[in-house]
Amino acid sequence: AQSVAQPEDQVNVAEGNPLTVKCTYSVSGNPYLFWYVQYPNRGLQFLLKYITGDNLVKGSYGFEAEFNKSQTSFHLKKPSALVSDSALYFCAVRDIEGSSYKLIFGSGTRLLVRP
Amino acid sequence: DAGVIQSPRHEVTEMGQEVTLRCKPISGHDYLFWYRQTMMRGLELLIYFNNNVPIDDSGMPEDRFSAKMPNASFSTLKIQPSEPRDSAVYFCASSLRGAGETQYFGPGTRLLVL
């Protein structure tokens, strides 16, 4: 069965410092991996995805993520955090081998960037 | 494009009443998804459609929940009768055909059942 783990409920970082939001996954085959961000009282906004190819994926707002197959991880990173990055971040996975279009979401990580 | 449109944005109702949530997907998208978000259970997929046909409704909690997609530009999620434990934010999302395609989410409907 597919699953996603976001081990940290909250990540705190100072503005200007690098940030990492962790995600690990479990699928029976190869994964499609996604990151979404949710601001208060808003829907989920797509940040980036890994489908195939280069393990380092660049996305919106300066975010990037690295796919690591051996560690089954897809951590979200940004070199320099902004206060406006404070939000709830979700990692999601879909199993390529399955016929379902179902996305499995992690529990979310709240990012707090302090000025 | 206007993105995925959901209505109403907020709904307050009393236990036992019927609730209907509405969704207009992005034009041209083949897939439509209904999710529920709660603090306790996080984001859960309730049901999804392909070309207006329900494909997987295994996430629908019980018979009180039903979803329809009468055409490519409109879907409803109905709860009858509603219960306090149905209080949540309900999201609709749509995507193009293709397993690697991105799902685009609407702003959600915040439902409170008293």
Q: Which residues in chain A have Cβ-Cβ distances shorter than 8 Å to B93? A: 44
Q: Which residues in chain B have Cβ-Cβ distances shorter than 8 Å to A3? A: none
What tens digit of pLDDT does each residue of B7-28 get?
999 999 999 999 999 999 999 9
Give the number of residues written for chain B.
Answer: 114
Burial of A65 from C-beta contacts in 10 A (0-12 / 13-18 / 19+): buried
Of A35, A103, A104, A107, which to mutate for an interface test with B (greatest number of B Cβ within 10 Å)?
A103
pLDDT confidence of residue A20:
97
Residue B38 CA to its chain's centroid (Å): 14
Q: Compute the nearest-CA separation of A32 from chain B (Å).
A: 6
**Omega of the bond prior to B8 within 30 degrees of 0, cis?**
yes
pLDDT confidence of residue B76:
98
Query: How far is residue B58's CA from residue B45's CA, in Å, rounded to a whole number?
Result: 9
- How do beta strands A19-21 and A73-78 pair? antiparallel
pLDDT confidence of residue A94:
87
What tens digit of pLDDT does each residue of A30-59 get?
889 999 999 988 889 999 999 888 899 999
